[in-house]
Structure 1
């Protein structure tokens, strides 16, 4: 099972920009579903997730 997770981590590191885009889209969808009620919390979660993937956020 470790080799599976190692492969996933490697893919995430290689495609950090795509992962960041996916996280942004997911955050936007969650924000829309909640009617903007939790925008701040969602943004914080997305930013934290982006920092933990690859080399960190690839966008300012």
Structure 2
């Protein structure tokens, strides 16, 4: 299992445990913290990562509700 697979597995477990909305709040807070720590230097990259993570959470959360 690669690192990406391991990350996805851990993310799915977290989403199952706390729910998609709270997971997305965590992604937002983490991104804001990174922006603060870097003075916004990488804001575009952080925003792109936040959007990708949010989309992934939506997909996983939607798939879980269909089970």
TM-score between both structures, scaled by the size of structure 1: 0.69
| 4+ long deviations beyond 6 Å | none
Deviations 1:17-55 (A, max 9, x none): 000000000000000000010101100001101111123
Partner of 2:12: 9
TM-score between both structures, scaled by the size of structure 2: 0.63
Larger RCO, structures 1/2 (Cα 8 Å, 6+ apart): 1
Alignment of structure 1 residues 1-60 onto 2, 5 Å = 5=9, 9=12, 11-13=14-16, 15-53=19-57, 54-55=61-62
Residues matched between the structures, number:
50
The structure with more helix, counted as a fraction of residues:
2
5+ residue gaps, structure 1:
56-60
Q: Say which SS state the counterpart of residue 36 (structure 1) adopts.
A: coil
